Amino acid sequence: MPLGKRYPKSRALYKSLGQWPLGFIQPVWIDDNLTIINMLAQDGFVGPGRPLAVDYAALEQCLGKVAQLAEVSGYTVQMPRIGCGLGGGCWQVVEQIIQRTLIQKNVPVRVVDLQ
């Protein structure tokens, strides 16, 4: 939510995605120094009777695509603790996925806490 409030263009484009499959990414160019990558890696949100909404396989697919973009463009990646809030994911599992898809491919990664 904080990212969407700060960059409404990214949020609007994310909401327009419709029925794309899990594992899909949507790069959103903000300016010369910032591209936001919207990722479809969870189906809905956690709630009563639904402790996990993030799809770890889809997240790995998305981050693999982000790694390809980063390798080609020289991007560095900054992200919040994706999949762990409204997605209900376990940070240790997500961290392992980040390790396999980005860090082991020498893509610089910085995890930030958005407020």
pLDDT tens for the chain, 115 residues: list them.
Answer: 677 888 899 988 888 877 889 999 999 999 988 999 999 999 888 889 889 999 999 999 999 999 999 999 888 999 989 999 889 999 999 999 999 999 999 999 999 886 6
The Cα–Cα gap between 31 and 60 comes to 26
Separation between Cα atoms, residue 89 and residue 104, nearest integer Å: 22
Of the candidates 41, 42, 107, the residue with the CA atom closest to the CA atom of residue 78: 107
pLDDT of residue 113: 80
Counted domains in the chain: 1
Whole-prediction pTM: 0.90
The overall longest dimension of the chain from CA atoms, in Å, is: 43
- Are 40 and 77 in contact by the 8 Å Cβ rule? The answer is no
**Quick check: 109 and 79 in contact, CB under 8 A?**
yes
- The residue range of the domain holding 107 is 2-111
Give the CATH number, domain containing residue 53: 3.40.220.10
